[in-house]
Amino acid sequence: MYKFSRSVMNGFFHLLGGGLRASNKTRLPKHHNGYVVVCTHRTWIDVVALGIAMKPTPIYYMAKKELFQTKFTNWLLSSLHAFPVDRENPGPSTLKIPQRLLKSGKVVGIFPSGTRASENTGLKRGAYVIAKRAGVPIVPAVYRGPTSFKELLKRDKIKVNFGDPIDLSDYDAKEDVEVVLQRIQAAFSDLEKEMELSQN
């Protein structure tokens, strides 16, 4: 279901004319011990775009639990590699699923919304805690492109730019949280600038 849906959406993007461009995939970790991808988030399109950009590597998405309330949506989202988390009341159980995935060599995607450093720091902090406990790096990624179906129809180009992995081995799990959050935000800014320069 995941690979089929990814192929369909990739074809859909190309059919609209813009297509999808993934930049700097060589920066992605070469080994298969799992890692966390933290991607900017403004629309459902960036979630789909990241999955296509990561091809052939599958990605497992963290999604709010409210989306899993019906049998159909639970089946659909689960088949698309999404798993539920309680964003309002995160607890130890929130870490179990992503840590299990990471330790089995999978890639976990987390999407903090907002473009400023002060926005959605909770999910960025969660990404750090999850990656640190699993002993894996964080890979920053930035999406640029349409944010609505209407903009998709305008054939706007879709781009995903990957940054260098952030190695967490030298950071303390509690004391260095803010330092890592600043590194993630700085990486987002640098990746945005790279995309701007590539357009000039």
Distance CA 44, CA 113 (A): 11
Domain count, the chain: 1
Q: What is the pLDDT of residue 3?
A: 85
List Cβ neighbours of 153 (8 Å cut-off, separation of 6 or more): 16
Quick one: average pLDDT of 44-67? Answer: 88
The band of 112, judged by pLDDT with boundaries at 50, 70 and 90, is confident
pLDDT > 70: percent of the chain = 88
Quick one: average pLDDT of 102-113? Answer: 89
pTM of the model as a whole: 0.86
The region of weakest confidence among 68-77, 87-96, 114-123 is 114-123
- The CATH number of residue 22's host domain is 3.40.1130.10
92 pLDDT higher than 70? no
- SS3 assignment, position 63: strand
Quick one: average pLDDT of 75-84? Answer: 83
Q: What is the CA radius of gyration of the chain?
A: 16
114 pLDDT higher than 50? no
Angle at 136 between CA 45 and CA 160, to 5 degrees: 25
Q: What is the pLDDT of residue 72?
A: 78
Question: Domain of 137?
Answer: 2-199
Residue of 136, 134, 135, 192 lying closest to 163 (CA atoms): 192
18 or 65, which is more confident: 65
Amino acid at 104: S
User: Look-up: residue for tokens 């129809």?
Assistant: 153
Q: What is the pLDDT of residue 88?
A: 62
- SS3 assignment, position 192: helix
145 or 162, which is more confident: 162
Question: Are the CB atoms for 53 and 189 separated by under 8 Å?
Answer: no
The band of 189, judged by pLDDT with boundaries at 50, 70 and 90, is very high
Number of H helices, E strands in the chain: 7, 7
Distance CA 38, CA 50 (A): 10
Quick one: average pLDDT of 18-26? Answer: 89
Dihedral angle of Cα 164, 167, 168, 170, to the nearest 10 degrees: -130
190 pLDDT higher than 70? yes
The band of 117, judged by pLDDT with boundaries at 50, 70 and 90, is very low
Question: Are the CB atoms for 106 and 34 separated by under 8 Å?
Answer: yes
Distance CA 67, CA 84 (A): 8
- SS3 assignment, position 43: coil
186 pLDDT higher than 90? yes
User: Residue 183: enclosing H or E segment and its boundaries?
Assistant: helix 177-199
CA 121 to chain centre: 15
